[in-house]
Each structure stands twice: as structure tokens, then as C-alpha cells.
Amino acid sequence: MRIDILTLFPAMFAGPLTESILKRAQEKGLLSIHLHNIRDYTTDRHRTTDDTPYGGGGGMVMMVEPLVKAVEDVRGADQHVPVILLTPQGRVFTQRVACELAAHDRLILICGRYEGVDERVRQLVVTDEISIGDYVLTGGELAAMVVVDAVARLIPGVLGARWAAEEDSHAMGLLEYPHYTRPPVFRGLVVPEVLLSGDHQAVERWRRREAIRRTWERRPDLLLIAPLSEEERWFLGELAEDEALRRAVHP
């Protein structure tokens, strides 16, 4: 997959892209990331990329011309590449959106700055807008890194064979079950016995149930759409009953 990132601050990307899994993905040729400085597409002496908003008001607006020129240059003849603007006004980024983006072989990400971008950038070149959450960052760069990271690890071969992205938290529609590793006892806290039993079926059942329990406790909204078996629905019913009981006793 090829990802082009348009930004005023390419140096911000150095750390995340040159370490660990993203670094290896690039070395293996599974991912290529190209950073483009939007300032290189300005035409005036001062290399201006922002200006005051028409109609007044505070803040600055990213100018239409450098951004549109940058997208057109980077996109080349390929009119079908998604051009994604990172903005708090976009659709919220979820695992589902990450999977959707991972199915493309190219993406162009635009990192907005200042108060926003000239609306005509949206009208002319943007095909999708993504927000990584309901909070406002100083710019789209950190959001772009989040998107690159979540998408890259879904590319086949990026994670090792023993590390299945399909079993991730959220990929199954549930939060993950609790994990343990050595030692079996630490400060009196013991690892659940079933995990030491060697009974793979029992381990699998325990993990599914704990994933459901955790999702019920922390993100019950996810259970509305999680694919659960009949038995797992019963288990969920028991959790709900327990809670109703607890509330009745300790209102």
C-alpha cells in the first residue's frame, strides 16, 4: 500500500514511521509512505499557505491553491485514490473504517492546520473526511499517524503470523479478554487456573466469556452489534441479571 501525506510539518512523522512495525512494513515493501510539504506548492515569495478568513473572525484558513495543487500533483493520473482530509468534522474513525481503508492500494491524507481549510478544497479534491475522536488537536498530523498505524497493521504480512489482527479488540466486535504471562502468582494475584490447564477449548470459552464480560462492563454499546452465539447471549443475560440484582441491593 502507498500512502501520501500532505502536511506543513513533515518532520512530525519521523518517530512513528521509523520505529517498530511501521518501519518493518516499509522495509518489507508492504507499505510505502511519502511525505509532501504543502509549502512546496506555494507560488509566492513568502511561501504562504494560510490567510485571514473572508467575513472576518479570528484564526487563519489554509489556502485552496497550494492544497489543490499538491493533491493533483501527488495523485497524478489516478483519479480513484481516496483523498482524505483529517478534521474534527469528519466521520469518526473506527476499526471498521480502518478495514475499509486497508482495502485500497493507495491513500492520500491531508493534514489540516489553523482554523480549517478553504471550503473549496473539499469541493475540488477531498473524497472523505475523518476525525479520530470528538476533541480538537492542533492539526491533522497526529490524526494521520493514528490512521496510518491502524490501517498498516491490517495489511497482510505486516503483523507476524502469530499475531492475528482478526483477533484484535474491536475486530470481533468485542473488547479483548484479560491477558496473563509468567509468573503464575505475583503479590498474591494468581493467573486464572483454566489458562494453565492446557485445555484449549476451555481456554477459548473462558476468553470469549471474559471478552463479553469486559465489553458489558466498559462498552455495552458494542454488544448491540457483536455477533454472539446462543450460549453467549445467555451468558450476557446472566451478567445483566447479576447487575440488576446488585443494583437492587445497593441502589
Tell me the C-alpha distance between 117 and 126, whole Å: 11
Minimum CB distance to ligand ADE smaller for 7 or for 87? 87
**Options 23-31, 139-147, 195-203, 219-227: segment touching ligand ADE (CB under 6 A):** 139-147
**Under rule CB under 6 A, residue 54 binds ligand ADE:** no
Do the Cβ atoms of 175 and 169 come closer than 8 Å? yes
Residue 47: strand, helix, or coil = coil
- Check binding of 86 to ligand ADE (CB under 6 A): yes
Question: Would you count residue 116 as binding ligand ADE (CB under 6 A)?
Answer: no
Cα 150 from Cα 143, distance rounded (Å): 11
Instruction: Output the smallest distance, CB 141 to ligand ADE, in A.
Output: 8
To the query of whether residue 115 is one of the catalytic residues in this protein, the response is: yes
The residue behind cell 498505524 is 149
Considering the rule CB under 6 A, would residue 59 count as an interface residue with ligand ADE? Answer: no
User: Minimal CA–CA distance to 50: which of 134, 141, 139?
Assistant: 139
Helix axes 141-152, 20-27, angle to 10 degrees: 60
Query: What is d(CA 85, CA 7) in angstroms, rounded to the nearest whole number?
Result: 11
Nearest CB to ligand ADE, comparing residues 103 and 136: 136
| Residue 4 falls in the annotated catalytic set | no
Q: Active site includes 96?
A: no
- Nearest approach, Cβ of 38 to ligand ADE (angstroms)? 15
Which residues are catalytically annotated?
88, 115, 153, 168
Per CB under 6 A, residues contacting ligand ADE are: 86-88, 112, 131-133, 135-137, 139-140, 143
